[in-house]
Amino acid sequence: MPFRHPNRAHDLATRIEHEVRERLEEAIDFVCLDAVVRARQARGLPPPAADSAADRAEYTQQVLAFLRLLDAEIAAGEPVRARADTGEEQSRLLAGQVVRARTLPDYWQRFETVSARFLAEPPSSGGERRGVLARLFGRG
């Protein structure tokens, strides 16, 4: 697949980081959109609409929940020094996953395992997933 980032003046390491980030964003998008659609189907609601602020907010919540789960599950024991472009939690968590995807040889296998569990877990009655600690300690 050719390098798609518009600025090709970067060194190889920067180009690889851009490619990994793009691949990771696409994978997270796929998992989280699938989670939103499944949750809406389970509640008998129509599929999300791109022009709906509420649907975008629901999607954003799924992305943050999934990134938190990835951080808790894949971060175990691996110190990560990730620089975030902004102070936002989502940017920080995504930056950490980019570093892990570049450094851990089994990252994508672990990503697939976590995403399968994330999609298999039914949403709670309030439409939110159980917290990370509840999952870790088998509660909820």
Encode pLDDT of 11-59 as tens digits. Answer: 787 888 899 999 999 999 999 999 999 999 998 999 888 888 988 999 9
In a domain? residue 31: yes
Contact 15, 5 (CB under 8 A): yes
In a domain? residue 2: no
Q: Which domain holds residue 130?
A: 12-136
In a domain? residue 85: yes
- Exposed / middle / buried, residue 132 (Cβ in 10 Å: 0-12, 13-18, 19+): middle
Q: For the whole model, what pTM was predicted?
A: 0.73
Q: How many domains does the chain have?
A: 1
